[in-house]
Structure 1
Amino acid sequence: MSKTTNAKIQRKTNPRTPVLIAALKEEARQNEAAIWRDVAKRLEKPGKNYAQVNLSKINRYAKDGETVLIAGKVLGSGLLNKAVTVAAYNFSATAMEKIAEVGGKCLTIEEMMKENPKGSGIKILQ
């Protein structure tokens, strides 16, 4: 047997993921925005390797009013005392509540691409 017949083929179980990856790559080509290609590469990895970022980490590394992108899930552990815009693949319910409480915004990656096609001023956390 050759290696190719024995190789395990990775398929995304969430139908949203391949559509999002294709959209990110297209946006990167159209707007020459390397950030979207970087996010697409992060989402092409297995789901267990996606970033899981707590609010305490966002609070530590983001400035007030800044835009942060997480190629994974935002978790509600820790305190957030800055009004930041957070774009992520997924949010826990607690994280969404805490971000809204301090005047921040929760966006999907798709919404962030529409709002900021050039990807300028976005900080990626992992």
Structure 2
Amino acid sequence: MSKTTNVKIQRKTNPRTPVLIAALKEGSRLNEVAIWRDVAKRLEKPGKNYAQVNLSKINRYAKDGETVLIAGKVLGAGLLEKEVTVVAYNFSATAMDKIAEVGGKCLTIEQIMEENPKGSGIKILQ
């Protein structure tokens, strides 16, 4: 008798996610850069485990002019006093407004991969 196990297969409900994960892995291989593989591994986890970072945390840990990547969602709680480029999987409307207010930029992970394929000068926050 064989024993069957119930293995639940995780499927991403957002069609953007598997495409992005595949692009990150390919970018990692092509450019021989570990940062994109790291971000892909973070996005392979269930969505409820994605990072949720408030602007106050970005303000605390980022330097002026720095590029910060969040493998999850940026939330608008707190103040942002530095002009930073924030890269994330998703943004709240409040966060986007506050980042633009101080002269910062909001980019998607796809956009930063295109602009900076080597991933140099990017700090990951979680």
TM range (shorter): over 0.9
C-alpha RMSD over aligned residues: 0.5
Matched AA of 1:105: K
Q: 1:6-85 counterparts in 2 under 5 A?
A: 6-85=6-85
Identity over aligned residues, as a percent?
87
Q: What are the ranges of 5 or more consecutive residues in structure 1 without an aligned counterpart?
A: none
Deviations 1:40-61 (A, max 9, x none): 0000000000000000000000
Instruction: Report the TM-score when normalising by structure 1.
Output: 0.97
Offset of residue 2 of structure 1: 1.4
Structure 1 runs (4+) greater than 6 angstroms displaced: none
Once the two structures are superposed, residues 51-98 of structure 1 have per-residue CA deviations (whole angstroms, 9 ceiling, x without a partner) of 000000000000000000000000000000000000000000000000
For 1:115 and 1:68, how far apart are their aligned partners in 2? 14
Shift of 1:10: 0.3
Q: Deviations over 1:86-118 (max 9, x none)?
A: 000000000000000000000000000001000
Aligned residue in 2 for 1:86: 86
Secondary structure at the aligned position of 1:123 is classed as strand
Measure, in 2, the Cα distance between the counterparts of 1:52 and 1:33: 25
SS of residue matched to 1:103 = coil
Partner in structure 2 of residue 2 of structure 1: 4
TM-score normalised according to structure 2 size:
0.97
- Three-state SS of the structure 2 residue aligned to 1:69 is strand
What is the rounded CA distance, in whole Å, between the counterparts of 1:32 and 1:54 in structure 2? 31
For residues 18 and 97 of structure 1, what CA distance do their matches in structure 2 show?
28
5+ residue gaps, structure 2: none
Whether 1:109 aligns to 2:103 is no
Quote the Cα distance in structure 2 between the aligned partners of 1:122 and 1:2: 45
